[in-house]
Every structure is written in C-alpha cells, then in structure tokens.
Amino acid sequence: AQAPVADIFAGKYSVGQQVTVKGWVRTRRDSKAGLSFIALHDGSCFDPIQVIALNTLNNYVDIQRLTTSCSIIATGVLKESQGQGQSLEIEASDVEVVGWVENPDTYPMAPKRHSLEYLREHAHLRPRTNVIGAVTRVRNCLSQAIHRFFHENGYCWVSTPILTASDTEGAGEMFRVSTLDMMNLPTTEQGQIDYSQDFFGKETFLTVSGQLNGETYATAMSKIYTFGPTFRAENSNTSRHLAEFWMIEPEVAFADLSDIAQLSEDLLKYVFKAVLAERADDMEFFAQRINKEAITRLEKVIDQDFVRMDYTDAIEILQNCGKKFEFPVSWGVDLSSEHERYLAEEHVGAPIIMQNYPKDIKAFYMRINDDNKTVAAMDVLAPGIGEIIGGSQREERLDVFDRRLEEMGLSQEDYSWYRDLRRFGTVPHAGFGLGFERLVAYVTGMQNVRDVIAFPRTPGNANY
Ligand code: 4AD
Ligand code: MG
C-alpha cells in the first residue's frame, strides 16, 4: 500500500505489512553495521519516518549518496522501532531515487536552524522546513475548522467579488485595477483620468473586504460568511500587516452586537479545540520552539468566558495603569497595538472583546449608539498580536444612515444598492471580519504574519 507517513503513525497499517512511502530526505546517516538511516518526510505530519536501508540493496552505493531533499520512493516492511522517540520504521527492500540534489553544498535549506528572515528570502523552498511545514498544516486545519463551524451552525458560504468599485472601509487603501494604457491615459475635459474608457467603465479596485456584498446576502439568507483574499495598500511595514491577506466575514440578520460578540467567542473556541485535537504534533513543536505557552494558553482560553470591555473603560484602565506608552491615550483616540497588547497581555492575560468605540474612528456603516458618540463596534484583541477581529452591528435605519453619509461627505448615489437594503425590508444585522493570518499567528505563536502565509505580499515584495 502507498502510505502517507501520517497514516503510518496513526496506526492504519500493521507491523509486518509492506508499505511504500514517497517523499524527501530530511537527513541520512550511516551506521558502522552497514546500514543507512534515512529520515523521510512527505508533509503529512510533523515527524519524518525512519527508513532503514541495508547494504545488501543493489543500489546501496546510490543510497549512500543521498543528501537532504533528494526525493525517493521507499518500499519495505513496517517494524517496531528500536530507536528512541520513534514508534515505527520501515526496513526497505527497495529505495528508488527519483530526484537528486544537484550540488548539496549549494542547497539553501541545509538541515540546520535558519532564521525566519532567511527563510522568507527562500520562500519557494521554505515549505520543506519543519517550521513552515507545521505552520502550513495548522493553517489548513484552522481553515477546515472554520468552514466546519459555519456549516454546522447553518451558515451559507458566499464568495464575494475580488474586483470591485466600492471602498468598504472608506480608508482609501485600495489597489487600483485597470486595463488603460498608462503611457497614454484618456482624460476628461476637466483633465482627470477618464475611467469610463476603462474595462469596467469606472474606477475599479481590489476589494478590502467582502462585507457590503455579504450584507446583501445576509439580508436574504439570514446567516452567511465569506472566506477569501482581501487587499490593502497601506504602507505599514509591521509584523501584523500584509498587502494581501485572507479574511473570514460572517454576517447575521436579526442579530445585534452582543450576538456577534458571542459568535466570535464561539468560533474562536471551536477552532482552538480543533487545532489542539488534530494538530497535537505541530502544536507540541510550537510550544517547544516558538512560544512555550502555545498549547496551555489555548487550553485556558477554551475554558473561560472572554472578557468584554467597553472602549471607554479601556481608556480609563490605560490612563491609570502607570505605564508609559509611545502614543498617549485619551478618549477618542484609536487604540494602537501597544495599547491592545497591554490590555490583552498584561491586564487580562487572554483575548478581550472590546466594544462601543467612538464613532469618529470607525467606518460609516456602524450603528450609532443612543449616546450619539459611540458606535456598536467590537474588536477581539489577542495577547501577542492585538486586534484579530473587527466587527460591528450595522446601521439599519435609513434616516440615520443618510445623516452619517452626509456627515462623512459620502454620496447617496455611490451607496444606492447598499441603501436599498435599508429601504426594502430592513433588519438589524451584524457581522465581523477575522484576519486569518493574525489568527494563525496567535495560535502558533509565530511573531510575524509573513511567516504564516505561503507567499507574503508586503511593500516592496511581490516575489514568487
Ligand atoms: O477591522 P477591519 O478593517 O474590518 C473590516 O474590514 C470589516 N469590513 C470586517 C467586517 O465587519 N465584516 O479588518 C478585519 C480584520 C482585522 O481585525 C485584522 O485581523 C485583519 O482583518 N486585517 C489585516 N490582517 C493582515 N494584514 C492587514 N493589512 C490587515 N488589515 C486588517
Ligand atoms: Mg479594525
């Protein structure tokens, strides 16, 4: 049988059975007894499997030339391992070399510890390392768990467009998409670029969020979510920002702020449980190498209610905590990452749901509270990373919405389809966006979102 290494360690094959494994050499060493020990990995689990090649194999000379990352197909009988820490190994009756490493001295991924910065510069080879392999499996596990959570709870997955003419967040951080000839741009009589001659007949961008489209489906399907790539041309070179990142955006009709605060808590706990159950091997590695609390902090979070805190109370805590912040705190300021991290790491020691922010620092679509100063917004702040979720109850009252548009200098015309949702059978509704890379970073303890996405897009870097 051809076996993924994970299936062998999971006990799907019995000792004495013949199996074939296909993969890459992680390390190889010779013993004096005339044997070669090959650690083979195929990406299916953290541990490589040991393949023992006896010098009686007719291509033993070749086998002794195997170096890290040569690809091989090994067939042999499954045995109880004599070695420490290994449960099973394969005594090979055949080792076929599929691909050589042309010059081992020039192979950039020698089996030693490389810095994460170095690995980023070799993004096409880094999936072969322990750390990126583990991140990749955990990321996959989390996305499967997210889909399962929503499926089990009756949500419909809606794929919202990537090309769009609307700026959901109104922050002006959009990448423009155009087929116009840049050397010969058509202009209007006023001297501006004439986008009516462009592919879509108007100025078009990569989406920053699927939310507005999501609202149109929530106000018909009741409970929906999106899961897709989003793009932001914000020039922030930080460990938590990417120009291309993945976002999960549930949107729920007949729901208010506290309903989606609860939803965020339920979703996070569900996926934390899934990852601890399904990727125990990789999480053990993160606990040993990246953050020693990687496992224990998730276990603790699963067992307790998330703390809910009002923005106004948070400001008071930050002002009275005696800590000196780079950005001073007063009511009305946007929380920066140092504030978010202080609250989550030092004040509470677990994720916090922060609610009811000043309206002036939040987007146009958020529902105004009765105090007329704050909006029904919620962010989830996590230790080590800060904001991982941003969401809100949406303004469903047409008159209030129109006043907000006017206040912010936005035109009703641009939002005519969005206003229609408020004109025809409007309903209280709410939703949030979970930044997927920030979630993976929090779960694994990885410090930089560039190391939890396959090919990070950041200012100055769209390589590979
Ligand atoms: O807080 P944001 O901007 O909220 C929205 O886009 C809403 N439309 C979501 C909604 O209500 N449906 O972004 C949501 C989350 C943030 O909390 C953060 O985790 C992540 O997306 N995020 C980023 N992740 C990586 N790189 C960036 N540049 C990010 N910008 C936001
Ligand atoms: Mg936000």
Ligand 1 centroid to Cα of residue 161, in Å, is 16
The partner residues of 147 in beta bridges, in order of sequence, read: none
388 Cβ below 6 A of ligand 1? yes
241 Cβ below 6 A of ligand 1? yes
CA distances from 70 to 94, 112, 240 (A): 16, 16, 35
Residues with CB under 5 A from ligand 2 (ion): 390
Predicted confidence (pLDDT) per residue in 318-334, tens digit: 999 999 999 999 999 99
Cβ count within 10 A of residue 58: 7
Token pair of 464, please? 């590979």
Tell me what the pLDDT averaged over the chain comes to: 95
Token pair of 120, please? 């980023």
432 Cβ below 6 A of ligand 1? yes
pLDDT average, residue stretch 289-305: 96
- Determine contact, residues 50/89, Cβ cutoff 8 Å: yes
Q: What is the pLDDT of residue 170?
A: 75
Number of H helices, E strands in the chain: 13, 16
Ligand 2 centroid to Cα of residue 236, in Å, is 14
Report the percent of the chain where pLDDT is more than 70.
Answer: 100
Q: Measuring from atom 6 of ligand 1, which residue has the nearest CA?
A: 209
Top mutation candidate among 209, 216, 263, 264 for ligand 1, by most atoms within 8 Å of CB: 209
How big, in percent rounded to 5, are the helix, strand and coil portions of the chain? 35, 25, 40
pLDDT average, residue stretch 203-229: 97
Which residue bears the tokens 């990537």? 162
Instruction: Say which residue, 4 or 113, is predicted with more confidence.
Output: 4
Amino acid at 94: D
Distance of alpha carbon 137 from its chain centroid, rounded?
Answer: 12
Question: Does residue 172 surpass a pLDDT of 80?
Answer: no
* Gap between the Cα atoms of 355 and 257, Å rounded: 8
Question: Does residue 84 surpass a pLDDT of 80?
Answer: no
DSSP 355-374: EEEEGGGS-TTBPBPTTSSE
437 Cβ below 6 A of ligand 1? yes
431 Cβ below 6 A of ligand 1? yes
- Say which range, 171-180, 284-293, 354-363, has the weakest mean pLDDT: 171-180
> Band of the pLDDT at 449, cuts 50, 70, 90?
very high
> Band of the pLDDT at 217, cuts 50, 70, 90?
very high
* Gap between the Cα atoms of 115 and 103, Å rounded: 22
The partner residues of 227 in beta bridges, in order of sequence, read: 248
Ligand 2 centroid to Cα of residue 283, in Å, is 28
394 Cβ below 6 A of ligand 1? no
- Determine contact, residues 80/119, Cβ cutoff 8 Å: no
Sheet holding 307-310, edge to edge: 156-157, 223-231, 244-253, 429-435, 386-393, 374-382, 352-358, 307-310
Distance of alpha carbon 375 from its chain centroid, rounded?
Answer: 27
Top mutation candidate among 164, 245, 440 for ligand 1, by most atoms within 8 Å of CB: 245
Token pair of 322, please? 């005696």
- Determine contact, residues 72/65, Cβ cutoff 8 Å: no
Question: Does residue 107 surpass a pLDDT of 80?
Answer: yes
210 Cβ below 6 A of ligand 1? no
Q: Which alpha helices (DSSP H) does 5-49 contain, by range?
A: 5-9
Angle at 247 between CA 204 and CA 311, to 5 degrees: 105
Report the percent of the chain where pLDDT is more than 90.
Answer: 93
Ligand number nearest CA of 243 is 1
Going by their DSSP bridges, the two strands 386-393 and 374-382 should be labelled as antiparallel
Q: What is the pLDDT of residue 179?
A: 97
Closest atom of ligand 1 to CA, residue 438: 19
* Gap between the Cα atoms of 234 and 358, Å rounded: 22
Q: Measuring from atom 2 of ligand 1, which residue has the nearest CA?
A: 390
Residue 135 phi, psi (nearest 5): -60, -40
435 Cβ below 6 A of ligand 1? yes
215 Cβ below 6 A of ligand 1? no
Predicted confidence (pLDDT) per residue in 32-49, tens digit: 888 999 999 999 999 999
Predicted confidence (pLDDT) per residue in 363-411, tens digit: 999 999 999 999 999 999 999 999 999 999 999 999 999 999 999 999 9
* Gap between the Cα atoms of 443 and 275, Å rounded: 9
Q: What is the pLDDT of residue 112?
A: 83
438 Cβ below 6 A of ligand 1? yes
* Gap between the Cα atoms of 31 and 106, Å rounded: 26
Token pair of 137, please? 């499996």
* Gap between the Cα atoms of 364 and 362, Å rounded: 7
Q: What is the pLDDT of residue 422?
A: 98
Question: What is the value of ipTM here, to two decimals?
Answer: 0.99
pLDDT average, residue stretch 338-359: 95
* Gap between the Cα atoms of 146 and 152, Å rounded: 10
Question: Quick one: DSSP state of residue 461?
Answer: B
311 Cβ below 6 A of ligand 1? no
249 Cβ below 6 A of ligand 1? yes
